[in-house]
Amino acid sequence: MVNVLFVCLGNICRSPMAEAVFRNEVKEAGLDHLIYTDSAGTGNWHIGKRPHEGTLEILDKNQVDHTKITARQVGEKDLTDFDYIIAMDASNLGNLNRLKGSNKSGEIFRLLDFVPEAITEDVPDPYFTGNFNEVYEMVEKGCANLLTYIRKNENI
Ligand code: 4NP
């Protein structure tokens, strides 16, 4: 199994959106028996909560399943349990690298590393901007390109 973890700050807006979109793309590619998808937040405020209304709304609009997604906090063990760890922004990336310390871990990326033409390197936080449409477009593109990358890398 290839394990993929999306990470943002609160785990209620961006990373659960990416989790749902990526899982959907994996399922459509017929690879759900080979790729496991999850998400987590660096912060602990929303543990156990369902995604933000804005995230649920845009997933519904695009007919992407989001049942069973609840927030949790990322822990040190995730860094070895997961093969691909995908941060939404530079701040998440910094936090993950601090958590990792000098230990071995899965590869840590930023989602927009996979979208070279993107106008920004960070997925903006819609909890503060309110713009879930903009984030959805970035997430969709990033996840599609990530899947292509993983398929090539893992020969699947
Ligand atoms: P997310 O957005 O990291 O995309 O889930 C946020 C959600 C909640 C908070 C910050 C960012 N918060 O401060 O509660």
Closest CA to 6 of 72, 100, 53, 68: 72
Range of the domain at 56: 2-154
Q: Ligand 1 in contact with 138 (CB < 6 A)?
A: no
Q: Which atom of ligand 1 is least distant from the CA of 9?
A: 3
Q: Ligand 1 in contact with 13 (CB < 6 A)?
A: yes
By most ligand atoms within 8 Å of CB, the mutation choice from 8, 9, 49 for ligand 1 is: 9
Angle between helices 14-28 and 53-61 (to 10 degrees): 20
List pLDDT tens digits, range 27-72: 999 999 999 999 999 999 999 999 999 999 999 999 999 999 999 9
**Distance from the CA of 154 to the center of ligand 1, in angstroms?**
32
Closest CA to 4 of 100, 146, 155: 146
Give nearest CA residue, ligand 1 atom 7.
10
List pLDDT tens digits, range 18-36: 999 999 999 999 999 999 9
Is the CB of residue 115 less than 8 Å from the CB of residue 141? yes
List pLDDT tens digits, range 76-107: 999 999 999 999 999 999 999 999 999 999 99
State how many domains the chain has.
1
* CATH at 136: 3.40.50.2300
Q: Ligand 1 in contact with 129 (CB < 6 A)?
A: no
